[in-house]
Chain A
Amino acid sequence: MTEDDVKTLDPYVQWIVAEARRPVAVDDAARRRLLEALRAEPQPTRRRFDWLLEPRRFALPPLATAALAAGLMGIGVIGGLVINRDGPKAGRPRAEVAETPRLPGSIVPRAVKFVLIAPQAARVAVVGDFNGWDVSANPMTTQGKDGTWTIFVPLHPGLHTYSFVVDGTHFMPDPAAPLAPDDGYGHQSSVVLVGGSSL
């Protein structure tokens, strides 16, 4: 706004403009007091980790975002593999209530010899509660051609139920051991009491 413009204004407004333009005289003593008061104010302190809490803005291009997410996914999968390495049952608690209270000496496995004479068999295995009834767990071997199939299996002391499997499909009880009752599967099994008298 020029001086000519001011002159066209209302006189009262002209007075206000003149007052506003009038230089302010600051007393030096007052100025000094003001500066000293400012110096006396404590400096604002900045704690070491305040920067972590300060809001920030950042932007990532979509490609970088996808790469970051894929990395996180990979970490998740690797973590799952590590956790699952020992199988799902590794960390599960067993039912303590049903465990056998045995003397320390009675927990040592003993080698039990299983024998079956089956000259016609191409292969024979022994299955039972000691190997989860897994046909592939304890294959028996034969020496010579007399058809005597044998295997030593380490068994914990106690009562065990088992059966022979001839040629992968035919389940048969041990002719040299007591029978277990048939519980509806149509095949009889045998029992052996390890740690007691041999039967």
Chain B
Amino acid sequence: MSMTRRMMAVLVLSAGAATAAWAQDVSPAARELDPLGRLSEGSRYQIELILDSARVAGLPTAPLESKALEGISKRVDGRRIVSAVRMVFRSLRDARSVLGAPATPDELNAAASALRVGVTRAELAHLTQIRRDRSVTMPLVVLSDLITRGVPRDTASQTILQLWQRGAADDDFSGLWRGVERDIVSGTDPGVALLNRAREVPPRGPSSQPEGSRPEGSTENRNS
């Protein structure tokens, strides 16, 4: 092979390699599209493994990615991020085993949060076995919040369960939450506040909230 041909072969191969390299990922703009790229290689690898496991298990990956990005945004070190993502993954897997396949990602996410604040699998199963035609997302969100704010777990679980059995609607749970939160801020014991406010929730029949009825318009979160 002549020198010229050898030279041409090497340079043609280089051109191909350059194309492949550009096609993968090099530009800063491309890195912006991959926020997990801000993690160290080892942490990134661990997160990817967890995400792959979630996909295989049919679990939503959005809460896991969100947890990783939350850690990055809060400048938490990679090991803690991996640990937090792994914890969310385990709780999602546990929630799936309790709620079963029909559970929506929102229900799984809310149930996983409830498990992480101490709600037992038995309590979760009891809640979801009743009136499965409605979403358990709202009661689980309120339950997790109440426990986080200091309401004893047993009190919170039993109260939410009783309201759920009585047919309480999403509006009832949101009203309950507002009242309890206000009372706690005013200095009332969290457990007492919950029991007092729960008495104010009117009993409702099974048909009190038609399936799929949702308020329209914008949602407002106001701290007044």
- Residues of chain A touching chain B, judged by Cβ–Cβ distance below 8 Å, are 59-60, 62, 65-66, 68-70, 72-73, 75-77, 79-81, 83-84, 87-89, 95, 97-98, 100-101, 103, 110-117, 127-129, 132-135, 152, 155, 158-159, 161, 163, 171, 174-199
Q: Which B residues lie within 8 Å of A103 (CB)?
A: 212
Q: Which A residues lie within 8 Å of B54 (CB)?
A: 98
A89 close to B18 (CB less than 8 A): no
Instruction: Give me 11 A-to-B residue pairs in the complex whose CB atoms sit less than 8 angstroms apart, sorted by A's number.
Output: A66-B11, A80-B23, A89-B33, A98-B62, A110-B217, A129-B63, A163-B70, A175-B223, A179-B149, A186-B76, A191-B145
**Given the known A-B contacts A112-B221, A115-B221, A196-B138, are A133 and B11 also in contact in the complex, defined by CB atoms under 8 Å?**
no
CB distance from B102 to the nearest CB of A (A): 10
The A-contacting residues of B in range 17-42, CB under 8 angstroms, are: 17-27, 29-30, 33-35
Q: In the bound complex, what is the Cα–Cα distance between A89 and B31 (angstroms)?
A: 10
Q: In the bound complex, what is the Cα–Cα distance between A79 and B14 (angstroms)?
A: 13
A192 close to B105 (CB less than 8 A): no
B105 close to A134 (CB less than 8 A): no
Q: In the bound complex, what is the Cα–Cα distance between A127 and B75 (angstroms)?
A: 14
CB distance from B109 to the nearest CB of A (A): 5
A196 close to B170 (CB less than 8 A): yes
CB distance from A94 to the nearest CB of B (A): 9
User: Is B122 part of the contact surface with A, judged by Cβ < 8 Å?
Assistant: no
CB distance from A46 to the nearest CB of B (A): 29
**Given the known A-B contacts A73-B11, A89-B33, A100-B104, are A133 and B221 also in contact in the complex, defined by CB atoms under 8 Å?**
no
CB distance from A47 to the nearest CB of B (A): 28
Q: Which B residues lie within 8 Å of A77 (CB)?
A: 15, 18-19, 22
Q: In the bound complex, what is the Cα–Cα distance between A177 and B141 (angstroms)?
A: 10
Q: Which A residues lie within 8 Å of B67 (CB)?
A: 183
B142 close to A178 (CB less than 8 A): yes
User: Is B16 part of the contact surface with A, judged by Cβ < 8 Å?
Assistant: yes
Tell me which of B110-118, B158-166, B195-203 binds A.
B110-118
A189 close to B105 (CB less than 8 A): no
The A-contacting residues of B in range 140-189, CB under 8 angstroms, are: 141-142, 144-145, 148-149, 169-171, 173-174, 177-178
Q: Which B residues lie within 8 Å of A163 (CB)?
A: 70
B70 close to A185 (CB less than 8 A): yes
Residue of B nearest to A75 (CB): B15
B14 close to A73 (CB less than 8 A): yes
A100 close to B60 (CB less than 8 A): yes
CB distance from A114 to the nearest CB of B (A): 6
**Given the known A-B contacts A179-B148, A193-B137, A197-B215, are A65 and B7 also in contact in the complex, defined by CB atoms under 8 Å?**
yes
Q: Which B residues lie within 8 Å of A185 (CB)?
A: 70-71, 74, 76, 80, 84
Q: Which of A60, A75, A127, A180 is B113 in contact with, Cβ under 8 Å?
A: A180
Q: In the bound complex, what is the Cα–Cα distance between A62 and B69 (angstroms)?
A: 53
A199 close to B30 (CB less than 8 A): no
Q: Which of B12, B18, B174 is A197 in contact with, Cβ under 8 Å?
A: B174
Q: Which A residues lie within 8 Å of B66 (CB)?
A: 128-129, 133, 161
B105 close to A158 (CB less than 8 A): yes
User: Is B87 part of the contact surface with A, judged by Cβ < 8 Å?
Assistant: yes
Q: Which A residues lie within 8 Å of B49 (CB)?
A: none
A72 close to B22 (CB less than 8 A): no
Q: Which B residues lie within 8 Å of A190 (CB)?
A: 221
The A-contacting residues of B in range 113-145, CB under 8 angstroms, are: 113, 116-117, 135, 137-138, 141-142, 144-145
CB distance from B46 to the nearest CB of A (A): 15
Known: A98-B58, A159-B109, A171-B74. 20 other contacts (CB 8 A): A59-B4, A76-B17, A77-B15, A77-B22, A87-B33, A110-B218, A112-B219, A112-B220, A112-B221, A117-B223, A129-B69, A129-B70, A135-B73, A152-B218, A161-B66, A178-B177, A181-B148, A184-B84, A191-B113, A191-B141
